[in-house]
Structure 1
Amino acid sequence: MKLLITNLSRIVVGVLFIISGFIKLNDPVGFSFKLEEYFSEPVLNLPWLEPHALGIALFVVILEVLLGVALLVGFRLKLTRWILLGMIVFFTFLTLYSAVTGKVTDCGCFGDALKLTPWQSFYKDVALLVLILILFWGKDLLKPLGGKTFRSGITAAALVACVGFAYHVLNHLPAIDFRAYHIGTNIPEDKSVPEDAPKPVIEYDWKFRIDGEEKIITTLGAFPEVQGEFIEVAETREIEPGYEPPIHDFTLERGDTDYADALLARKNLLMIISYDLDRSHREAFASLARIADSATSLGYSVIGMSASSQAQVDAIKEEYNLNIPFYFSDQTTLKTIVRSNPGVVRLEAGTIVQKLHYNDLDQLQLRELTEAERYDLPLKKALDSVLVLDQKYRSTGNFGDWGKQMQIDSSNIHFVDSLIAERGYPGKSLVGDKAGVAAWYVIQHSTRIDNFLPAIKEAAETGELPYRLYAMMLDRSLMDRGLHQRYGTQAMSFGIGSPQEINVIWPIEDLEGVDERRKAAGFEQTLEEQVKGMFGEAYELKYYTLEEAQEMRDLLMGGTK
């Protein structure tokens, strides 16, 4: 019986160490991120170890595999037992610390292949500790396999295999992807929560004053039916967790707005990801810039994702002429998506179809997309017609036809309103560059600009619409509300065609910085160049106060804006 228990413990410990080590060896970068979390100031407060996390991770996971192999074949059994004991004692302390403090919610024992809570990890380590102690108890019964040369050869071969495998996954990507963002994942689907998904069960402690005494009444959320004075909710506790979707932290932010849903809806999307630009392999961005230009010309939408500051993003875009919009996302999320800094992910209608390390960029599969693959052709045709109708009588300059144009405008804005409510702004990735501005013209010529301005801003921020068009509409909205415009695109004319004709640029906020803002928004002309183009080279630009401009507009009779 002692022999059976000892050998069974030997097999279980050896196999578990090999499996645990191999899973982490498959993704040593991911394990290094977990070690960085342990080394961080809020946890073990060992920040000086963080730069060495990857080296430590490689040493630990290779050692795990070798210990498992050595135990099974009987190589240096005494030394192997003591190292196993030392490792398991350390890991048991670590998992207990995590469980008690709650500072680390997943120990990373089995990487992303099997998620364990801190207490589950602790109990697993306690069980392994017992099994390893059994190996000491039955040490005389542990017999080596084969001869010394055989055991040394097997252990050496395992070491060579581990080093070779580690070298491969470090310079490419994990051979097996256990993460939520593996190839074949549809991100929008995995972000969604089913209607019938379990809701979290929350226990509430309600504090009341009853008959002069403070009492706590506990319910599962319902307000207590008691006679007394309610004071406060003293405490809440989650009794049962609700449903958490596989992907719950994917965002693509600019400012305070998340554009993830709009961007993931695109048919063909290429994401260039760098969780930390300062720690990235910067030489790769020269190739990525060429890939971005090529992909755009073939019909793909290309975006950048990073957790770095806007200043860092602007610097690398300028250095490598990387002409793509960047969005902010959580660093942990970006590390999870692709184990490469930078890396590339290609999606089709929200589904991941390819992931690449920067060393494998030559394997990116791009082809020229057909019109049907790029666009929603029926919608494109409809918006082409809308654009023609929008200009049908405007382009003639015949004011006698203005009533007909107003009827067309009314029909157009109704169509655009319904379309944006259902599908968001129909921009260039959906219908192409020309049709992609049709809805903008319809809105710009309506009296409902403020209703649609958020959708126009989102379209501009996501590259669906030239940003300068949003700038023009924003200026129009600000002028109509009697506020300073930002880009200087709006003007008024009084007494058109008469000797007393007056042309007024609506007052501008922060006048000194207007040309810089115009350039950033995509305008090719300075304010002065624009004004001379509008009113002639002889026009002398004069700035009015908001009060003066407002007074002139109030007196405007028969003029046009």
Structure 2
Amino acid sequence: MKYLVGFSRLIVGVLFIISGFIKLNDPVGFSFKLEEYFSPGVLDIAFLEPYALELALILVVFEVLLGIMLLLGFKVKLTVWSLLVMIVFFTFLTFYSAYFNKVTDCGCFGDAIKLTPWESFTKDIILLVLIIVLFVGMQHLNPLFGDRTKRLVVGVSLMVSVIFAYYVLHHLPAIDFRPYKVGANITEGMSVPEDAPKAVFDYAWTFDVNGEEKVIVTQGDYPTVDGELLGVETTEIVKGYEPPIHDFTIEQDGEDFASALLEEPKLMMVIAYDLRKSNYGAFKEIKETTDKAMKNGYKVIGMSASDSEFTARKKKEFRFGFDFYFTDETTLKTIVRSNPGVLLLEKGTIVQKVHYNDLGDLKF
């Protein structure tokens, strides 16, 4: 039992620290995931949506600290009980997501490691078993250091976590795991290799044969049946290749200008996924930055999921010299964790990306 507890302690502690740090690197992204869980279509607790960012910060800092406290053997009973409560809650969420197909990515490891809903649930079941082992064998969780050292390490860890969270909130994630990181080419990210795996579907054909319904399943071929076709249902049984960047459009009046704009040698994107939630205090500097960019030969565009009437009003109010295009809100949230944020591109390649607090760092 002693060795089993030691093994479980190491695995659970390290996984909680890694998982927590990845989400701490991008708390805004994790808050978007919490909003998805809180939405009416999932858990229907929309009253928590305005507090998603605060809850995300508390959860990820607590997750990191629990991993450290477990490894140190600090306040063992509190630590193990907290781990148990947290993993039971997460296991419920991942099962709910997987069974009802509500949230296709739990965000357990942010954008660094993508897990399917059932993979997330399996991971949580394994962690639940390991934490139960820790709960049963709690007496074997011996401290690694004295109380003063443990308190110091936990205190310093809390301080570092808070400082790091403050930094990434007011700038951008320190490590960008998304397909829109600096150096990535958006056009290449949307392409599908010729030898990419193809999706495989089952086709369930329903026929009326002599007054009785008969279902025949094929993988695309129309079955030879002496009867009247009533309908067909398709089910994806093997997932095909999905490019890292998909559903990316830059639309205006129903026309997609993405291909043409991604060929621009000097393009500046001003991204505000929702202009109603944007930090208007940054728009004066956005105006100065975009005017300067246009003088330096840049094509400047705005990208938002807000309606055209509202974007037109904001363009007039802040005297922007560029037009807004429509892009899916989720895509814009993925591109940059800042509202607004700015990107510089050269023929589709992202060369710079900044938070509105760092507009002065742009070089063009």
Give yes or no for TM over 0.5. yes
SS class of match (1:266): coil
Aligned residue in 2 for 1:136: 135
Amino acid at match of 1:120: E
How far the C-alpha of 1:218 sits from its partner, in A, is 1.4
SS class of match (1:196): coil
Structure 2 matches for 1:528-539, cutoff 5 A? none
Q: CA–CA distance in 2 between the matches of 1:284 and 1:113?
A: 30
Which segments of 5 or more consecutive residues in structure 1 lack a partner in the other structure?
367-561
Q: CA–CA distance in 2 between the matches of 1:362 and 1:348?
A: 19
Structure 2 matches for 1:429-468, cutoff 5 A? none
CA contact (8 A) 2:84 2:128 kept: yes
Aligned residue in 1 for 2:33: 34
CA contact (8 A) 1:204 1:233 kept: no
Amino acid at match of 2:301: I
CA contact (8 A) 2:252 2:325 kept: yes
- 1:298-342 CA deviation, whole Å, 9 max, x = no partner? 111110000111122112111111010110001110000000000
Q: CA–CA distance in 2 between the matches of 1:179 and 1:93?
A: 27
Larger radius of gyration: 1
SS class of match (2:351): strand
Amino acid at match of 1:70: M
Amino acid at match of 2:135: F
CA contact (8 A) 1:172 1:356 kept: yes
Aligned residue in 1 for 2:68: 69
Residue 264 (1) aligns with residue 262 (2): yes
How far the C-alpha of 1:212 sits from its partner, in A, is 4.5
Q: CA–CA distance in 2 between the matches of 1:46 and 1:236?
A: 33
Aligned residue in 2 for 1:100: 99
Residue 89 (1) aligns with residue 81 (2): no
Aligned residue in 2 for 1:204: 203
Residue 319 (1) aligns with residue 310 (2): no
Amino acid at match of 2:74: F
Q: CA–CA distance in 1 between the matches of 2:167 and 2:208?
A: 67
SS class of match (1:112): coil
Aligned residue in 2 for 1:388: none
Structure 2 matches for 1:15-30, cutoff 5 A? 15-30=14-29
Aligned residue in 2 for 1:112: 111
**Number of aligned positions between the proteins:** 364
Aligned residue in 2 for 1:214: 213
Tell me how large the CA RMSD over aligned residues is. 1.0
Identity of aligned residues (%): 59
Counterpart of 2:228 (choices 204, 218, 230) is 230
Counterpart of 2:284 (choices 279, 283, 286) is 286
Aligned residue in 2 for 1:175: 174
Aligned residue in 1 for 2:192: 193
How far the C-alpha of 1:172 sits from its partner, in A, is 0.2
Aligned residue in 1 for 2:240: 242
Structure 2 matches for 1:503-522, cutoff 5 A? none
Structure 2 matches for 1:408-447, cutoff 5 A? none
Q: CA–CA distance in 2 between the matches of 1:195 and 1:357?
A: 37
SS class of match (2:31): helix
SS class of match (2:168): helix
Which segments of 5 or more consecutive residues in structure 2 lack a partner in the other structure?
none
How far the C-alpha of 1:232 sits from its partner, in A, is 2.9
SS class of match (1:283): helix
Q: Which has the larger strand fraction?
A: 2
Q: CA–CA distance in 2 between the matches of 1:296 and 1:179?
A: 28
Segments of 4+ moved more than 6 angstroms: none
**Normalized against structure 2, the TM-score is what?**
0.98
**Normalized against structure 1, the TM-score is what?**
0.64
Amino acid at match of 1:266: E
Aligned residue in 2 for 1:361: 359
Q: CA–CA distance in 2 between the matches of 1:205 and 1:70?
A: 53
Q: CA–CA distance in 2 between the matches of 1:364 and 1:62?
A: 31
Aligned residue in 1 for 2:275: 277
How far the C-alpha of 1:203 sits from its partner, in A, is 1.1
